[in-house]
Amino acid sequence: MMEIVLMVLVLVVVMLMMIMMMMIMINEILPLLQQQQILSLLLPLPLPLPLPLQSPPPLLPLPLLLLMLMLLFLLLLLLMLLFLLLLLLLLLLLLLLLLLLILLLLLLLLLLLLLLLLLLLLLLLLLLLLPLLLLLLLLLLLLLLLLLLLLLLLLLLLLLLLLLLLLLLLLLLLLLLLLLLLLLLLLLLLLLLLLLLLLLLLLLLLLLLLLLLLLLLLLLLLLLLLLPQQQQQ
């Protein structure tokens, strides 16, 4: 039982460490995304000039962000696999304990059968030699009662162990559900980050299109202004 409790504690500590690492990584990524979004929103629309089109401000490295997100997802998967392995080990330990308890019960039953056989033999002897074996019979009866009491105590202990095992299984299932919920939340966060990146890319594309349209309008205006002068010349 102590080994099982220690394994559960180690699992909880590993889970907390992984969650802290993921939160630190998310806290490092989100300010960069917010800064890029603010820059894209505050970027003024410049007056069109007859100059070559300048490239938009460089975006944060998208492959690096995607790589970090994939690493987070892989860490979550590894954590889930570790939890499942520990769960299997715990189940194996529980099965071994149950087998040991069943073997003990079988041994006790064999002892009881042997005692019953001895009692039958003593009864036969008593039929032959009643006066001499009365004390021995009483002693054997007392021993039988003591063994029955021990058997009852062992059965009670077995029931208590089964209850404890059921409680441990319930706790493990709850931990698994919590891990699944955390995984779903992190997947949602990843999707939101990807959507933010796509929105930033769309904003940059829209800015580029606006700049191109303004340049085209300027060129048209220049052409309209230059055509009458050329006709007069």
Residues 45-67 pLDDT 10s: 444 444 444 444 444 455 666 66
What pLDDT shows up at residue 48?
42
- Please give the mean pLDDT across all residues of the chain: 75
Which residue in the block uniquely carries the two structure tokens 């042997």? Answer: 114
Q: What is the pLDDT of residues 86-139, one digit of tens each?
A: 777 877 888 888 888 888 888 888 888 888 888 888 777 767 776 666 777 778
Dist. CA 51–CA 55, nearest whole Å: 12
> Can you tell me the mean pLDDT for 27-38?
62
Predicted TM-score (pTM) of the model is 0.38
Instruction: Find the mean pLDDT for residues 36-44.
Output: 49
* pLDDT for residue 203: 92
For 33, the token pair is 């995304």
What pLDDT was estimated at residue 60?
Answer: 47
Q: 130: which DSSP letter?
A: H
Secondary structure (DSSP) of 167-230? HHHHHHHHHHHHHHHHHHHHHHHHHHHHHHHHHHHHHHHHHHHHHHHHHHHHHHHHHHHHHHHH
Q: φ, ψ for residue 173 (rounded to 5)?
A: -65, -40
Query: Helix, strand, or coil here: 22?
Result: helix
pLDDT grade for 207, boundaries at 50, 70 and 90: very high
How many other CB atoms sit within 10 Å of the CB of residue 211?
Answer: 16
Per-position DSSP letters for 92-127, written without gaps between them: HHHHHHHHHHHHHHHHHHHHHHHHHHHHHHHHHHHH
Alpha carbons 100 and 154: distance in angstroms, whole number: 12
Helical (H) or strand (E) element with 54: none
Longest dimension (CA), the chain: 154
Q: Which residues contact 197 (CB under 8 A, 6 or more apart)?
A: 33, 62, 65
The mean pLDDT value for 78-87 works out to 76
